[in-house]
Amino acid sequence: MLEKTQQLPQEQLIDSDYFIYCLEAVEDIEIDAVTEAQKKLEQLTTQYGVASIYNTCDTIEGLESSLDALVLDAHNFKDYEIIYLVIKGEANNICLNDYCYTLQEIAEIFEGRLEGKILHFSNAKVLDLDAEEAQYFLDITGAKGISGYGNASNEITSSNLDIAFFNLFKEDANMLDVVEELHQRHYKICKLLDFRLYY
């Protein structure tokens, strides 16, 4: 078994016109523990009415099969716009159980399969790409943007800001307007965590 899925009842999925797809890296998918990301996604649903699908992975194969299932299932989830990744890593890589993969490698795995999506990284991973690295990822995957934070967590998780970011998309589909609004409403924390968007 590669993943565990927490899913809303089908009628809730049909009623909701906007989704967040969250994939969180854990040490062992067999251990069933409620994470902060899960709690925040529940808050997003109860407070703001934004539905989410939550999966975990502990290997690169698990990551790939989770995103593959999502892409193949796109008729059910065609309105999700954001893939929320809670995965550790450095500037240009992600780490799963002590194995690190560059974003270029990730781009090649998902070539052409992230069309129109925004990949948003929590601050479990610092996101720091040069223009060429970002453009390569966007060109290869078809993603609309990559967002995340330039500063490591330092005891402050980005989860509250992530939730605010996702909720703004419910009100406005324009990615740049959303980022501007996010900075206006949450200027201090955006600056502290160094929110950034590559598009």
Average pLDDT over residues 129-151: 95
For residue 122, what is the domain's CATH number? 3.40.50
- Integer Cα distance of 1 and 13 in angstroms: 24
Q: What SS3 class is residue 178?
A: helix
Average pLDDT over residues 9-22: 58
What confidence category does residue 96 fall into, taking pLDDT thresholds of 50, 70 and 90? very high
Owning domain of residue 75: 5-198
The pTM score is 0.87
- Could you tell me how far CA 84 lies from the centroid of its own chain? 1
- Integer Cα distance of 67 and 157 in angstroms: 24
* Percent of the chain predicted with pLDDT > 90: 64
Question: Model confidence over 141-197: pLDDT tens digits?
Answer: 999 999 999 997 678 899 999 999 999 988 888 899 999 999 999 999 999 999 999
Domain count, the chain: 1
- Integer Cα distance of 91 and 116 in angstroms: 23
Q: Are strands 195-198 and 145-149 parallel, antiparallel or unpaired?
A: antiparallel
Residue 190 CB partners (closer than 8 Å, separation 6+): 161, 182, 183
Structure tokens at 56: 């975990």
State the amino acid at position 82 in one-letter form: I
The strand order across the sheet containing 118-121 reads 5-6, 51-57, 19-25, 80-86, 118-121, 145-149, 195-198
- Could you tell me how far CA 155 lies from the centroid of its own chain? 20
What interhelical angle do 175-185 and 159-171 show, nearest 10? 130
Q: Are strands 118-121 and 99-102 parallel, antiparallel or unpaired?
A: unpaired
What confidence category does residue 16 fall into, taking pLDDT thresholds of 50, 70 and 90? low
